[in-house]
Chains A and B, each alone.
Chain A
Amino acid sequence: MPEDDLAEEAARLTINGDNSDRGDLGFVAKRLAQEARQTLSSSGGSRGIRDVTEEFTVAAKQLQPGQLVKDEYFTLFEAVGALEIMDPKMDSGYVPLGDTLEPDFDVCKGLPAEQVLWIMDELLRLTAVWHDGYPLSQTIFTSLHVDRLLSPDNRPPYQLSYGDMTLRIMTVEEQLVHIVLRAYCVALVKSCALVLHTIQSQNFYEEEDFVTHLFGRELLPSTGANDAIKLLDEAVKFLDGAEVRQVMRAALLERLHFAQTYISLLITNSADWNTLAAMGRLAETHKLAQPIPEAFSDKVQRQLATSTPPRPMIAISWDEALQRWTEFCADVVEADRLTCFDVCQSPHALHRAIWAFAYREPQPNTFARAYLQTILFASEQITEGMAFFDLMLTDMRDLALAGDVLADPQSFLIEMPSDSRHRCSRIIEMFMDKAFDEYMNLYRMVCQNRCRIRRTFTQSVAIFDSLETEAMKTDAELESITPGIVLPHEDGSGKVALNPLTSWVKYHRLQTMAWTTQLGFETDIYLPHELSMMYWYLMVFAQRRCKLVEHIERFLAARRKRFASSRDARPDDEAAASQEWLAVLHKQADFEASLSSALWQLTELLMTLGILQPPKRDYAQEQLLYDVRMKSYLGIAHDPIPTLEEYMSAAQSDQSVGETCNNVNSTIADAKGCLAFLKKTNPEQGKYVGTEEQWKREIKQLETTCVAVAVQTSQLRRVADKHGKLVSVARDASMKGMLEVSIPLPGSRYHGWWVVPQIRERKK
């Protein structure tokens, strides 16, 4: 269909143009409109076709070498993506001399049970590879049996032979192919359709995470998933009575059972994937299989609609494939556990759960992450009795408004328009409406791949910043209806109000800023000489978070004083729980500030000693480099980030090496103190219900990181002492040749978010 072609072409153009500036988009739009007009209005067919071979050749010859006649909107940039016909590397339809267009394999011929078993296992292996993100053209579509079923020449009920099968009497081997293998293939194809549906209903990134391209094929549209199950049942029945060796019968039945379980789980969207994992027995019977590689071929790509060059079939071992299936099943089961009712009662606990899921090793595949998103977002609520609205209100209440009538769910049910609670609730609802999308993104975006989490959160920062303006307006309105507690300002100058919504938005903004920086460390986007600056900023973000939490805690304490005299225990209980949690948040921010301060000081010292140096760049200017690195934060209007000058004046280059090492050590001691406190908190206090294991593990990793910093610092101190540099002020880069430093890559760190430079004495 011309519209599908347009869509395909448009999709491809969008991907290519992702990084281009706005001007190219206008071009592309014009060109698409032009092509659309052409395609839809072209006369087509055999009428109005004129042979122009001679004329064209003559005209073309008259052009100068290198002279092009081209459409004004067609750019040579796009031309690079054109497939060159007759080039074997680019032309998927090229048939070399002596080769046939189609593989020479009769899919209708009968096969012994051992070979059928091998084909079924091969398909299982290829399905695992497809789940990893490889396109169907390199995986499941390379099966010649599947290719025949999906061929555009085939018709329902999609037999392997195009003709009528029922009239012939089949041999056992033929029945194994046409009844057993066919049912298995149909089930696997329908399973693909269900997987695609789940993935495409949620957020994911095409080609980064997964390839949904169907290459012009349809996935057996007239056959439903339940029809596939029926076919499998018939195949099982046949096998039970068939003249096949018992051990082969059992092995084949296992595969059919696997296919049945797999497709049933997908149909019901169940989380009971343990049952699938229990079929690890497939590994034992695999050795009975007899290879028949001729049943698979990459020549199928010659007939698939593809705008890409020919690609190889993917090779991972059978054991690796089984490993993938096991991990896959475990991920789905865990997704269900992490989003259970109890966890969902606390927004923070739920949030932690999603981060824990994203950080499973190895990272869960696209389907598992789409599955998690389906659990959370496919219905109108997070979990039974907890609508998205409730989740958001609970978040606000837990953080800034514990025990306060403003965030009391009961207040929102008041219908009397003159009641201040009714008026406030409506105002708060309006604000929540505005904040809703970005708030839900806090959950949804963590289900994406790591790089995308960082990139989308970087954009979130700007959105939270503008939401802060809205929050300030809303807080002012609320204050005018229900004046809240007012306290003297921390620095003694005047009064200050809580501004709960502003505080809430600010908290999420600061947290997101910290995350984007941390994820930057994890995805290795900072050069070694930038570590110092980024750790300083991380410290600043953490300190600001500390201050904010202190601000909220002051008002919470004041609110609790008021409850002391009232009879209703509930608000006070709520406030008490919030107090405990805020104490945890405070300590976590303290820890972050301390550890990043230590690492800032250490890396700063390494820079001034000349051991960590920026590359020689004659045309680089500090300010420009800074602007590029801090681009996403520069536009923040509400308490803007410190400038480059402020950062540079904070550098401690006036201290001696010995003094800096001492400071690092005392800062690390502070960090360790925070960890000791956090270790003693229980899941309710820290709101880490459901992620207890991850909590413990992370604290251990952070403890190790602290120790590592101390070790590296003492290493530095030792060498400095040896060369009598301990008391020197480091500015003269005098230790340049004495030490070498290496930066641990992602994957070889104690904690992925903290980069501890490894310092070694350089051997002469």
Chain B
Amino acid sequence: MESVQDVQYLDDLLNKTLHLHITDGRMFVGQLKCTDNERNIILAMTHEYRQPSPADVKLAAERHEKGGLPGNVKVDMRKRFLGLVVVPGQYIEKMEVEGPRTPHLTLEADAFDVLTSR
């Protein structure tokens, strides 16, 4: 019973855009294509993001100042396109999903249906 709900939960996440933060500090953003019980994730159309280095911050600050722009300095994360990747579950520290609908509600709705059908 529980397994069906969990499969449904994971199924609903397929093709959604995930943000995976891994142990070495990188982040991978891509569409979820496949997962298994070890939490290994296959993402498609993946971009890899890195935190900007101190040199990046310095460069952005210099340019910001030179340009006479107001407000705080905005430093972009370094980004590059990778394509199809598999992230082993053991390296995933945090997972986020993009999108408006929350699976929480789905889970509760399913639970409700199960109860009422009895």
In the complex, whether A59 has a CB less than 8 A from a CB of chain B is yes
Q: Find B37's partner among A64, A74, A94, A304 (CB 8 Å cutoff).
A: A64
Does B86 count as interface, using CB distance less than 8 angstroms? yes
For B102, what are the chain A residues with a Cβ–Cβ distance below 8 Å?
Answer: 50
The 9 closest A-B pairs by CB, nearest first: A307-B83, A63-B37, A70-B34, A59-B6, A62-B6, A305-B81, A69-B10, A82-B86, A305-B80
Chain B residue nearest to A36 in the complex (CB)? B45
Which residues of A in the span 31-77 have a Cβ within 8 Å of any Cβ on B? 34-35, 38-39, 42-44, 48-53, 55-71, 74
* Contact, CB under 8 Å: A35 / B44: yes
Contact B39 A216 (CB under 8 A): no
Q: Is A306 positioned at the interface, with any CB of B under 8 Å from its CB? A: yes
Report the separation of the CA atoms of residues A85 and B7 in the bound assembly, to the nearest whole angstrom: 25
Shortest Cβ distance from residue B98 to the other chain A in the assembled complex, whole angstroms: 6
For A484-523 the 0/1 string (1 means CB < 8 A from B) is 0000000000000000000000000000000000000000
CA distance A418 to B14 in the complex (A): 71
Q: Are B88 and A86 in contact (CB under 8 A)?
A: yes
Q: How far is the CB of A80 from chain B (nearest CB, A)?
A: 10
- Once bound together, how far apart are the Cα atoms of A9 and B32, in whole Å? 15
Q: Which residues of A439-490 are within 8 A (CB) of B?
A: none
Docked Cα-Cα span, A48 to B102, in Å, equals: 10
A70-B91 CB under 8 A given contacts A60-B39, A163-B62, A307-B83: no
Nearest CB on A from B88, distance (A): 6
User: Which of B10, B37, B87 is the one whose CB lies under 8 Å from A65?
Assistant: B37
A84 at the interface (CB under 8 A from B): yes
Is B109 an interface residue, CB under 8 A from the partner? no
A384 within 8 A of B: no
Contact B98 A69 (CB under 8 A): no
| Contact assessment for A85 and B28 in the assembled complex, using a CB-CB cutoff below 8 Å | yes
Chain B residues in the interface with A (C-beta under 8 A):
2-3, 6-7, 9-11, 13-17, 19, 22-24, 26, 28, 31-39, 42, 44-45, 47-48, 50, 53, 56, 59, 62-63, 78, 80-89, 91-100, 102-104
**Which of B11, B36, B48, B87 meets A66, CB within 8 Å?**
B36
Whether B36 lies near A9 (C-beta < 8 A) is no
Contact present for B80 and A79 (CB under 8 Å): no
Q: Which residues of A contact B53 (CB under 8 A)?
A: 101-102
Cα–Cα, bound, A39→B29 (Å): 11
Given A69-B10, A69-B34, A70-B34: A52 in contact with B85 (beta carbons within 8 A): no
Q: Does A286 contact B (CB under 8 A)?
A: no
Does the CB pair B86–A93 fall under 8 Å?
Answer: no
Query: Are A307 and B89 within 8 A (Cβ)?
Result: no
Listed residue (B45, B53, B85, B102) with the most chain A CB atoms within 10 angstroms of its CB = B45
Question: Counting chain B CB atoms within 10 Å of each CB, which of A83, A85, A163, A307 scores highest?
Answer: A85
User: In the complex, A296 Cα to B110 Cα: how many Å?
Assistant: 58
Are A43 and B14 in contact, with the CB atoms below 8 A?
no
- A50 & B97 in contact (Cβ 8 Å cutoff): yes
Nearest A residue to B52 by beta-carbon distance? A153
Out of B33, B80, B88, which one reaches A70, CB within 8 Å?
A: B33
Complex Cα–Cα for A304 and B82 (A):
9
Chain A contacts for B98, CB-based, 8 A: 42-44, 48-49
Judge whether A8 is part of the interface by a CB distance below 8 angstroms: yes
A162 to B28, CA, bound (A): 28
* Residue A679 interfacial (CB < 8 Å): no
Residue of chain A at shortest CB distance from B37: A63
Instruction: Give chain B residues whose Cβ lies under 8 Å from the Cβ of A84.
Output: 85-86, 88
How far does the Cβ of B60 sit from chain A's closest Cβ, in whole Å? 9
Q: Kindly list chain A residues whose C-beta atoms are within 8 Å of the C-beta of B96.
A: 49-53
The answer to whether B82 touches A68 (Cβ under 8 A) is no
User: Given the complex, which residues of B lie within 8 Å of A9, measured CB to CB?
Assistant: 44-45, 83-84
CA separation between A79 and B42, bound complex, in Å? 8
Query: Could you give, for residues 278-319 of chain A, a 1 whenever the CB lies within 8 Å of some chain B CB and a 0 otherwise?
Result: 000000000000000000000000011111000000000000
Partner among B17, B37, B39 whose Cβ is within 8 Å of the Cβ of A42: B17
A426 at the interface (CB under 8 A from B): no
Chain B residue at minimum C-beta to C-beta distance from A37: B15
**Sample of 5 A–B contacts (CB below 8 Å):** A35-B45, A56-B13, A59-B7, A63-B10, A162-B62
A243 at the interface (CB under 8 A from B): no
* Interface check A78, CB cutoff 8 A: yes
A89 proximal to B (CB < 8 A): no
